[in-house]
Structure 1
Amino acid sequence: MHPSLSINTLCFGAGPLDAHAAQVARLGATAISPTLEQVVDYGAAAGKMLRDSGLAVATLTHRAFAFATQEDGIVGRERLNRTIDLAETSGAQTITLTTGGRAALRWPEAANRFAAEIAPCAARARAAGIKLSLEPTSHLYADASIAHRLADTLTLARLAGIAVGIDLFACWTDSDLEDSIIAAGPDIALVQVSDYVFGDRGLPCRALPGDGAVPLDRLIPEILRTGYSGYFDLEVIGSRLQAEGAEAGLRRAGVWLTELLTARHN
């Protein structure tokens, strides 16, 4: 696999971190993206185990921050601070998160509150050399985020002083996607790659790169033209990958993406 590719453990479903690390290593990827829960469950030796596996940690999946009330913010900061500590010990370069829900707040109020509540964590992460990567997500996850378009995600990230992750599955239909990619350039911390097949309706319904309608062969070169040099994280969740088999499907996707990235770099 191309050295810029990482594999997100969400591709494999439930399972222990060491088993998933072994699968990622067998596939020939150089980096892994585990969930927070996996690292916690494995314990203090997680970082050493991953290093011994020869794997870098592209990102640690934190899931939702919380900010809608003052009490939510306190809980959200405590949890995110623990994730920052785990990112340091595991060697994670970024932490991927969503904002959390906004309850009854209007969007501008929610954006300002999110930025204020996460600010101490943003400062702590910067001091540790770790990027907090805010990703867009489907509007069907409105309970977990207020950022669904890349442009809105970038607005929030800059307001909060954090980085942005581009989950192409979530934002590939944005009308201003190309402009948003250019604008996000210096703030991109991670790119998550999967595909979508027309007609799929129920989440999760991610397809393997190259199997669907997302114009990855255009979008990935556009991201690279911004100067982005980080990881492209394979995050494929749903029945399509399960039917093919995780390792077989991810190996095929790795070949497809390697050819695309190699052609772009030559």
Structure 2
Amino acid sequence: MVAQSSSRLVSQRIVESWPGDRLPTRPRQPSPTTVTRPPDFLRNRLSANGLTTIRWDMLKDVCGCRDAGIGAIGLWQPKVLEFGEERTAELLHDASLKVSSVSWAGGFTGTNGQAFREAVWEAGETIRLAGAVGADCVVVVSGSRAGHTLNHARRLLLEALRELTDVAEDAGVDLALQPMNSMFADWTFLTRLDDAVDMLALVNHPRLKLAFDTYHLWQEPNLLEQLPDLVPLIGVVQVSDWRDPPRSRHDRVLPGDGIIPLAPILETLIGAGYQRHFDLQVWSDELWQGDYLQLLRRGRQQFESLLPRLPSAVNPLG
């Protein structure tokens, strides 16, 4: 049976000794009135995206998450298709891993040379896959303007989202629309936070949310003041840090290693009631060449060091 085989593989890999020592986190002393979060908090809320471990396959991703103490995973669809959708679902079930997101659907403007109807159909298949593996959401990237006027590009995205939110409702998953920094304008014409929020308002469907990526949005004006109102709209928070200066578009660093003020961003999100996953998504030509298990362990430890220290009686995440 596939499930039994997957379970044995997971168990075998988890008990193996992985290379790489744990690196020390930055010292942070809680005040006498606060406590350190229990391990279950991270296992329940932190996920590791398959793009962070781009050279690993699906099985290694799952085993790496388990060994690094990370209880959820953000699926990169090509790995799922290579491993097999049914086998992936069984593997995730056997490993007791939650799925924060599936990446990506989109390209509705013809960015990848696809016709509009083809892109919508493929997005529908991605949504159905996400439902089959129990994912919280599918990350949606609109596509660039691709020679269209901005108004026409918006109309194409609006038409696609209105159709796909009904598909998402049937599948029991959310769509998380992702705005990106303007250096990624060839990925999406939504290069400001307000652009994406306006699109959510136009579609006006409870299944359409926002993918909030700290790397793309940390430079937004008055971000901390906006966050409490945005929390009900956010389907997933993607976490990485900004090297100063970036050497390429794939030069992210782990949380705490860059210049993004992540601690107040995370504190504001959690204080405003954000209850979904924080997806570790680090695109880095440099880190992609290294030890992935060490990368995940460091990512978990450094993410934990940035979390607010709240009194033990306070549990905003439930």
Instruction: Establish whether TM, by shorter chain, passes 0.5.
Output: yes
Distance 1:165 1:264, change over 3 A: farther
Q: Which of 96, 99, 116 does residue 54 from structure 1 map onto?
A: 96
Once the two structures are TM-superposed, the CA of residue 120 in structure 1 deviates from its matched residue by: 1.2
Moved more, 243-252 or 168-177: 243-252
* SS of corresponding position for 1:227: coil
Alignment of 1:7-22 (within 5 A): 7-22=48-63
Once the two structures are TM-superposed, the CA of residue 202 in structure 1 deviates from its matched residue by: 0.7
**Aligned residue number for residue 140 of structure 1:** 183
Cα separation, 1, equivalents of 2:309 and 2:224: 20
Alignment of 1:168-187 (within 5 A): 168-187=214-233
Q: Which amino acid aligns with 1:50?
A: L
Does residue 228 in structure 1 map to residue 274 in structure 2?
yes
* SS of corresponding position for 1:124: helix
Q: Which amino acid aligns with 1:256?
A: Q
How many pairs were matched up?
265
Cα separation, 2, equivalents of 1:103 and 1:237: 24
CA contact (8 A) 1:60 1:96 kept: yes
CA contact (8 A) 1:60 1:92 kept: yes
CA contact (8 A) 1:192 1:234 kept: yes
Could you give the per-residue CA deviations for residues 191-242 of structure 1, whole angstroms, max 9, x where no partner exists? 0000012122311010010011000001111112332100000001213424
Cα separation, 2, equivalents of 1:14 and 1:252: 18
Distance 1:265 1:234, change over 3 A: farther
Q: Which of 107, 112, 119 does residue 155 from structure 2 map onto?
A: 112
Once the two structures are TM-superposed, the CA of residue 18 in structure 1 deviates from its matched residue by: 1.2
Q: Which of 71, 86, 92 does residue 30 from structure 1 map onto?
A: 71
Q: Which of 62, 79, 82 does residue 41 from structure 1 map onto?
A: 82
* SS of corresponding position for 2:307: helix
Distance 1:50 1:245, change over 3 A: same
Alignment of 1:83-122 (within 5 A): 83-122=126-165
Cα separation, 2, equivalents of 1:244 and 1:208: 13
**Aligned residue number for residue 201 of structure 1:** 247
Alignment of 1:155-174 (within 5 A): 155-160=198-203, 161=205, 162-174=208-220
CA contact (8 A) 2:106 2:120 kept: no
Cα separation, 2, equivalents of 1:196 and 1:128: 35
RMSD: 2.0
Cα separation, 2, equivalents of 1:264 and 1:239: 36
Once the two structures are TM-superposed, the CA of residue 243 in structure 1 deviates from its matched residue by: 5.9
Give the structure-2-normalised TM-score: 0.77
Q: Which has the higher helix share?
A: 1
Moved more, 125-134 or 179-188: 179-188
Give the structure-1-normalised TM-score: 0.92
Cα separation, 2, equivalents of 1:65 and 1:99: 5
CA contact (8 A) 1:151 1:180 kept: no
Percent identical: 25
Does residue 216 in structure 1 map to residue 262 in structure 2?
yes
Q: Which has the larger radius of gyration?
A: 2
CA contact (8 A) 1:168 1:191 kept: yes
Distance 1:179 1:49, change over 3 A: same
* SS of corresponding position for 2:130: helix
**Aligned residue number for residue 150 of structure 1:** 193
Once the two structures are TM-superposed, the CA of residue 151 in structure 1 deviates from its matched residue by: 2.0
* SS of corresponding position for 1:117: helix
Moved more, 100-109 or 3-12: 100-109
Once the two structures are TM-superposed, the CA of residue 184 in structure 1 deviates from its matched residue by: 1.8
**Aligned residue number for residue 297 of structure 2:** 251
Gaps of 5+ in 1: none
CA contact (8 A) 1:36 1:62 kept: yes
Gaps of 5+ in 2: 1-38, 313-318
